[in-house]
Amino acid sequence: MLTLQDHWVVQARHCPSPNYNERPQTDDIGLIVIHNISLPPGQFGGCHIDELFSNCLDPHAHPYFTEIAGLKVSSHFLIRRDGELVQYVPCDRRAWHAGQSSWQGRDNCNDYSIGIELEGTDHEPYSSAQYARLRALIKLLQQHYGIPPQALAGHDQIAPGRKTDPGPAFDWTQV
């Protein structure tokens, strides 16, 4: 069972990111956004996601990293392939995961959402451990912050045409 303390999930590995700021309204959390990430693309494991969200990614470690090394991005959570939960930003702060976005006529989803990255790609099935951890995390966030069950979206739904994740491999019936 997952628990929150001071907006951090106690059972998560904490890897604080500098890439966040205050929400315009601290008590306005009403959406969960599902993403995917793999670094290098299509490769799983390793420390590169932590490094990206911590502004420590070595641009010489992989050719792709030269394209993204200067990005200032973050997410609240990452769920690795084995189900490990990592938290980068406390839930009451604005992580920088959604970019230009809109949900049900409301712009700037970072202002009022919690971002969850799944280690994966658009076209590779996610693991059962990831779905189990994701269900538990969503349940905790919905209960603690009063997020309604229908306020769950993929990055592709809040930034259509710009983003494709979590992709067609994501099985929405699992959540």
At 14-67, the pLDDT tens digits run 999 999 999 999 889 999 999 999 999 999 999 999 999 999 999 999 999 999
Q: What is the mean pLDDT of residues 143-164?
A: 97
The confidence score (pLDDT) of residue 69 equals: 86
User: Could you list the residue range(s) of the whole structural domain that residue 98 is in?
Assistant: 4-174
Q: Distances from the Cα of 164 to the Cαs of 17, 109, 161, in angstroms?
A: 24, 16, 7
pLDDT the model gives residue 63: 97
Instruction: Tell me which residue has tokens 């809109």.
Output: 102
Of all residues in the chain, what percent carry a pLDDT higher than 90? 98
What CATH number has the domain bearing residue 144?
3.40.80.10
Cβ(136)–Cβ(85) under 8 Å? no
Task: Band the pLDDT of 90: cuts 50, 70, 90.
Answer: very high
The pLDDT assigned to 158 comes to 98
Q: Give dist(CA 57, CA 154) in Å, integer.
A: 26
Q: How many domains does one find in the chain?
A: 1
Kindly report the average pLDDT of the chain as a whole number. 97
Tell me the pLDDT band of 132, cut-offs 50, 70 and 90.
Answer: very high
68 band by pLDDT with thresholds 50, 70 and 90: very high
pLDDT of residue 12: 98
pLDDT number for residue 140: 98
The whole-number pLDDT of residue 26 equals 86
The residues assigned a catalytic role are 117
